[in-house]
Structure 1
Amino acid sequence: MQIRLTGLTATAFGAGALVAGPAAAQTLDLTVTIPKLSVAEYHRPYVAMWLEKEGVAPRTIQIWYDVDKKGGEGTKWLRDVRQWWRASGRSTSFPADGVSGATRAPGPQKLRLVGGRGGMPTLSPGNYTLIVEAAREVGGREVVRLPFAWNGTSATAAGKGSTELGGVSLTLKR
């Protein structure tokens, strides 16, 4: 996978929210579990993950959708991931390299994001919320919010959905 930002800059997450330099390398390990559902018609969910910090514009860090649909047709369903769409999706250009990815199969999906690469900003200390939203065709929608305090060294948070998302956890460390 090529990692290149499209239309995103260091200031996209707000002035003073980012720290520069190799000494500030941060790693965010995420696990998002997509439950196996016993339904007549199953479609993999579109999933969006973004960070919010009070007073700063939301920052999309991952969006999983049908990237292979001919003519970019998969993007027309992104607006069904409603909260993300309202927060930052409608202003994003697709595909956004380092952020866009294909839908995922049921099971735990593990991600490692490095601050300053792809869609992952380098975070300054403060209170954040990671939001994970899933929407599935012929299915439902669900949002899991993980508030966490980043002290510049480490942070952890975990939560669980009840239908479209299973367990969601994060570990952030320098």
Structure 2
Amino acid sequence: MHKRLLLSLATAISTVSAAEIKVSVEVPRLPVAEYHRPYVAIWIENADGHVADLSVWYDLKLRDREGEKWLKDLRQWWRRSGRALELPIDGLSAATRPVGQHSLRFADDHPALAALVPGDYQLLVEAAREVGGRELVRLPFSWPVTEQVSHQAAGSSELGKIQLNIQP
């Protein structure tokens, strides 16, 4: 009986405190002769700087890990975190994405979110494309949340609409 009560209590507590972050990133169709999929980094920062990486999209299939050499073109992410990482990282590294809307979900038990202390943060999405440009989009948010929060912004060239939805 006590085990069942403790299990029910633990389930209730984890359900109440469970939060989820959903990020939607649009890769726009660009009217260019030579199109390459963008490299993209998604991470969280506080006022002191880099806090946690969520995802990095790059060419994983190039011979001799050649795709990693171009990650430095994601300048902000590279300076704050990328150069210190040993890639590929399971759960962080992913292939580049085609034109369209792409969604990512992160539960509060994800290492990046589990380490967040209460405070103000920014979600950053940076894109760089070969024979193209670079762009950085920032979305502010506070952690933890007590009610559903939605933010959105749009890039002007390499990124389209970026959406951040946080549910308690």
Shorter chain as denominator, the TM-score bin is: 0.7 to 0.9
SS at 2:165 equivalent: strand
1:27 equivalent in alignment to 2:20? yes
Which residue in the other structure is 2:41 paired with?
Answer: 48
2:136 corresponding residue in structure 1? 143
User: d(CA) in 1 for partners of 2:166 and 2:92?
Assistant: 18
TM score, norm. by length of structure 1: 0.81
| 1:30–1:170 Cα contact (<8 Å) kept | yes
Unaligned runs of 5+ in 1: 1-20
Larger Rg: 2
Identity among equivalent positions (%) equals 47
Is residue 149–residue 155 contact of structure 1 (8 Å, CA) maintained in 2?
no
Number of equivalenced pairs = 153
Residues 1:102 and 2:80 are matched in the alignment: no
Alignment of 1:3-152 (within 5 A): 22=14, 24-55=17-48, 57-117=50-110, 120-122=112-114, 123-152=116-145
Could you tell me which runs of 5 or more consecutive residues in structure 2 were left unpaired when the two chains were aligned. 1-12
The one-letter amino acid of 1:77's match is W
State the TM-score, normalizing by the size of structure 2: 0.84
* Deviation string, structure 1 residues 74-110 (Cα, Å, up to 9, x no partner): 1000001001101111111100111110000011111
